Structures are given as structure tokens and as C-alpha cells.
Amino acid sequence: MDEIVLEKMIEYFGSDVRRINHALKVWSFTRIISEKEKLDEEKKQILSIAAILHDIGIKESERLYNSTAGKYQEKEGPPVAVKLLEGVDLRKEVLDRVCFLIGHHHTYSEVDDLDYQILIEADFLVNIFEDNMGKPEIQSIREKIFKTRAGTKILEDMYMGIE
């Protein structure tokens, strides 16, 4: 299933290699964290699809609002995801949860389950590097955002030694 969704994401972003690479990195971290946190198989599949497509609304956000702001990505992402996932054999409940995660991945105050928490943490693990964040900002993110043992360990291993 992941291979199909990955191909659709790559085709959608086309030559936008930066966004393709971002999605691949977030997807990889969600896979690691979900294994360590012992997420059940269905939630792993939901999380995997959501991670691959989490920023899929960014092109529409730029087109409609001339902005990549998270609130616009959350708004525009689910309809794009539904269109991309047409023909993919997903139960309605799975598609609904994937769209929920895509539509909330920049909303940190409403985390309702472990799949949501893992997606946020994985996105931060990548964004910290891509946005070249400093140690004080990373420490703040650790304290305010990270909740899983696995995600926190990865964050600390990767970034807490930064001077």
C-alpha cells in the first residue's frame, strides 16, 4: 500500500524534490516511532499514508492563498488526499482518519491519539533540520511537543548535542 501512495505523492509533486524528500523523511520517522511505540497494524497503516501525504495541500495553499502556512495546508490537504487516493482500496474509516491527520498536523493542542502525536513529532524531527533551528528552540519544542519515548529519544540523539 505504501508504495502506491508514495508513487502518487511523487507524481503529484513532480520535480519539487524538496517536498518529496520532506515527505519521505517524515514517513521514515513515523515508521520508526510507530514500531517502537507498538502502534497496532491498522494505525500504522493510517499513519504511514498520512505521513506520506501530510503536506499534500501545500501546492493548493500556494495557488489559492500565496502562502504555505499550516492552516492553509490543513484546509487544502484533505481534498487533495481524497482525490489522490481514489482507486486505492481503503475503508472509509481509514480514509477519514488519514484526512483528519492531514487536516490537523499543524494543530498541536488537539492531539487525540498516538498516531496523531507520532505524525507531529516526525514532522518536527525533519523541520528542525530543514529550518536550521537552534538549541533553545529545539529545547522548547522538546518540552512542549514531544510526548513519546521513541520520538524524544530520536530528538535527543539527533539534536540535543548541538552547541
pLDDT tens digits, one per residue of 43-94:
999 999 999 999 999 999 999 999 999 999 999 999 999 999 999 999 999 9
Contact assessment for residue 23 and residue 54, using Cβ atoms and an 8 Å cutoff:
yes
pLDDT tens digits, one per residue of 109-142:
989 999 999 999 999 999 999 999 999 999 999 9
- Which residues, in sequence order, are CB contacts of 136 under 8 Å at separation 6+? none
Picking from 108, 106, 122, the residue whose alpha carbon sits closest to that of residue 47 is 122
pLDDT value for 160: 86
Model confidence, pTM = 0.95
Does the pLDDT value for residue 161 go beyond 90? no
Domains and CATH numbers, the chain: 2-159 (1.10.3210.10)
- Which residues, in sequence order, are CB contacts of 23 under 8 Å at separation 6+? 9, 13, 51, 52, 53, 54, 55
**C-alpha cell recorded at residue 20:** 518529496
Contact assessment for residue 20 and residue 13, using Cβ atoms and an 8 Å cutoff:
yes
pLDDT tens digits, one per residue of 94-118:
999 999 999 999 999 989 999 999 9
